[in-house]
Structure 1
C-alpha cells in the first residue's frame, strides 16, 4: 500500500511541475535583434521589401530561442521593412489581420546554435581542402 501511495505522489509531483511559460509580450527575432510586436497596424502602402521570416519557435517551457524566432507567430511568418524607418529600429510582422509594427527592444541572447551553420561550413571547407591537399601530395 505504501508503494502505491508513493507512486501516486511521485506522479502528481511530476505532472504538477510541468507548466507553460507566460511571455511578457509577443516578439520576433531578426538577425540577433529582438522586436516587440505592437498592436499597431502598418499600412500596405508603408511596407518595404521582405527582410526575413520566422524560422524557429521559442520554447514555451524554458524560454530559450535561437535564430530568427518568435514566441507567438508560426514558422514562415514574414518580416518586412517599413518605409522611412530603419530596420534596426522597426519592422512589420505579418499577422492574420494584416501587418503589425514591431519595435527593437534588445539583442537576443548568445546561442551557439546561431553559429553552428558557419562552423559546419568551415569544417566542411577544411575537410575538402585537406582531402585535395593529400591527393595532390600523393601524386607528386
Structure 2
C-alpha cells in the first residue's frame, strides 16, 4: 500500500511541475541579434526597406530558439529598417496596431540548427553540381 501511495504522489508531483515559460519582454531575432520590441510606434515616414521576417517561434517550455525567431510575434511578421538608424541597433517590427521600435539587446545564443541549415544547403548544392557533371560526361 505504501508503494502505491508513494507512486501516486510521485506521479502527481511530476505532472504538476510542467508550466510555460514567462518571458521578460517581447523580442525578435535577425541574423543572430536579439532585439527587444518596445511599446514605441514607428511612423510610416521613418520606415525603410524590408530586412527580414519571423521564420521560427521560440519554445515556451525551455526558452530555446534559432534563426530569425520571436517569442511573441507569429511567423511571417515583417522587420523593416528605420531610416536614420543602423540595422544593427534598431528595427521596426510589424504589429497589429502599426509598427513598433525594436532595439538591439544582445547576440542570440549559439544554436546548432542555425548551422545545420547552411550545411544542408551546401550538400544540396554539391549534389546538384555532381549530378550536372555526371549528366554532362554521359552525353559526351
TM-score higher than 0.5: yes
Other-structure match for 1:98: 98
Give the Cα separation in 2 of the matches to 1:124 and 1:94. 33
Tell me the matched-pair count: 140
What SS is found at the alignment partner of 1:120?
A: helix
Q: After superposition, give the CA deviation of every residue in 1:35-68 in whole Å (9 maximum; x if it has no partner).
A: 0011111111111111111110001111100000
Write the mapping of 1:3-14 to structure 2, written as runs, cut at 5 A. Answer: 3-14=3-14
With structure 2 as the length reference, what TM-score do the two structures score?
A: 0.87
Give the Cα separation in 2 of the matches to 1:94 and 1:77. 6
Deviates more, 1:130-139 or 1:111-120: 130-139
Give the Cα separation in 1 of the matches to 2:27 and 2:129. 42
Other-structure match for 2:69: 69
Give the Cα separation in 2 of the matches to 1:11 and 1:99. 46
Other-structure match for 1:78: 78
**RMSD between aligned residues:** 2.1
Give the Cα separation in 2 of the matches to 1:92 and 1:129. 39
Give the Cα separation in 2 of the matches to 1:131 and 1:45. 49
Other-structure match for 2:23: 23
With structure 1 as the length reference, what TM-score do the two structures score?
A: 0.87
Instruction: Tell me the CA shift for residue 2 of structure 1.
Output: 3.5
Say whether 1:107 aligns with 2:114: no
Other-structure match for 1:60: 60
